[in-house]
C-alpha cells in the first residue's frame, strides 16, 4: 500500500466498499451523517469510467441495503470528463437516476479550476431533472461569489469549502486570512439565500461565525449542516452534533487513495500542518 498508508488509513475507509460500510455504521451510531466517495479522478480509459459507474451504483445499493445515513459524492473526471464529455454526462445521469430511484443525494465534487466551468455547466444542465443533485464551490476562487449568486438564484444545494487545489494568484486568493474572509462572506449569502447549504470546514473561527450568523437570522440548526473529513477531530465532530447541529463526515474509500492523500496533505503546507496537529488533537 505504500509507506504513507500508516498515516493515510486514518483518513480513508479502506480500499473496499465493505470496509467503508463498517466505518459508516460506526459514524451513524455516533449520530453523524456521511458522504461516501469512491476515490478516483483523471481516468484515461473508457472502461475505467464504466467501472466507476457500476461501483457507484453498488454503493447506492449498499446504502439502501444496510440502511445507512449516507449519500455519495463523485468527481466528473472519474466518470470520463477528460475522455468524452457527452459520455461523462451519460454516466452521471445513470448514477443520478439510480440515486433518484433510491431517494438518495449525489454531490458533484469540484476539481481544479480547469474543470470549474465544465462542472457547473453540466450541473446546470441537469438541475431541473435531478433535484437530488448538488455541487461544490471553492471559496478561494475569485469567481466563486458570482457562482454562489447564480446557484442561490436557481435554488441549488451548495457545499462550500476553502479549496484544496493549488491555483495561480490570477484565479484564486492565496493567503489564508483572505480565504477565510471570502469563505465567511459566501457562507452568509448561502445562509440568507441558499437551499440547505453545507459548510465544509474544520476552522473553529468559521464554525463559530456561521453559527452566530444563523442565530442572528433566525435560521434553525436543521436548515444547514457542517461537514468534516474522516479522521480529523472526531471528538469535535461529535461535540458539534451534540450541540444540535447536523454534522456530515466525508468518507473516502478505494484503492486510489494516494492521489487523494497527496493532494489533501502533501500538496498544501497548510493542510500538512493541520493534519499533523490533528493527529494529537480531538
> Angle, nearest 10°, between helix axes 204-217 and 176-193?
30
Active site residue ranges: 109, 159
User: Distance from CA of residue 254 to its chain's centroid?
Assistant: 16
Considering all CA atoms of the chain, what is the largest pairwise distance in Å, rounded to the nearest integer?
A: 51
DSSP state letters, 14-60 = -SSHHHHHHHHHHHHHTT-EEEEEE---S--SHHHHHHHHHHHHHHH
Say if residues 186 and 210 touch (Cβ distance below 8 Å): no
What are the grid coordinates assigned to 29, written together? 451510531
Distance CA(166)–CA(185), nearest Å, equals 21
In the chain, the N- to C-terminal Cα span, in Å, equals 27
Within 13 Å and on the Cβ side, how many CA atoms surround 8?
23
Beta carbons of 35 and 251 less than 8 angstroms apart: yes
SS3 content of the chain, % helix, strand, coil (to 5): 50, 15, 35
C-alpha span between 26 and 20 (Å, rounded)? 10
Buried b (16+ CB within 10 A) or exposed e, 201-230: bbbeebbebbbeebeeeebeeeebbbbbbb
C-beta of residue 104 within 8 angstroms of C-beta of residue 59: no
Amino acid at each position: 500500500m505504500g509507506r504513507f498508508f500508516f498515516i493515510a488509513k486514518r483518513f480513508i475507509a479502506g480500499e473496499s466498499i465493505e470496509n467503508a460500510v463498517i466505518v459508516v455504521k460506526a459514524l451513524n451510531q455516533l449520530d453523524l451523517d456521511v458522504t461516501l466517495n469512491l476515490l478516483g479522478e483523471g481516468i484515461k480509459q473508457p472502461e475505467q469510467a464504466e467501472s466507476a459507474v457500476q461501483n457507484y451504483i453498488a454503493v447506492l445499493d449498499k446504502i439502501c441495503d444496510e440502511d445507512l445515513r449516507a449519500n455519495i459524492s463523485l468527481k466528473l473526471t472519474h466518470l470520463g470528463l477528460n475522455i468524452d464529455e457527452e459520455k461523462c454526462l451519460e454516466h452521471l445521469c445513470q448514477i443520478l437516476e439510480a440515486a433518484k430511484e433510491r431517494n438518495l443525494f449525489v454531490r458533484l465534487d469540484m476539481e481544479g479550476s480547469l474543470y470549474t466551468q465544465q462542472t457547473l455547466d453540466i450541473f446546470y444542465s441537469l438541475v431541473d431533472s435531478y433535484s437530488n443533485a448538488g455541487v461544490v464551490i471553492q471559496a478561494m476562487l475569485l469567481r466563486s461569489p458570482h457562482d454562489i449568486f447564480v446557484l442561490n438564484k436557481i435554488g441549488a444545494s451548495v457545499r462550500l469549502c476553502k479549496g484544496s487545489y493549488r491555483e495561480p494568484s490570477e484565479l484564486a486568493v492565496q493567503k489564508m486570512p483572505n480565504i477565510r474572509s471570502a469563505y465567511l462572506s459566501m457562507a452568509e449569502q448561502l445562509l440568507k439565500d441558499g437551499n440547505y447549504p453545507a459548510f465544509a470546514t474544520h476552522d473553529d473561527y468559521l464554525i463559530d461565525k456561521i453559527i452566530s450568523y444563523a442565530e442572528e437570522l433566525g435560521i434553525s440548526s436543521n436548515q444547514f449542516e457542517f461537514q468534516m473529513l474522516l479522521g480529523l477531530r472526531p471528538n469535535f465532530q461529535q461535540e458539534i452534533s451534540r450541540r444540535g447541529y447536523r454534522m456530515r463526515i466525508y468518507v473516502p474509500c478505494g484503492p486510489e487513495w494516494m492521489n487523494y492523500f497527496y493532494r489533501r496533505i502533501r500538496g498544501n503546507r497548510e493542510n500538512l500542518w493541520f493534519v499533523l496537529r490533528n493527529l494529537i488533537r480531538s
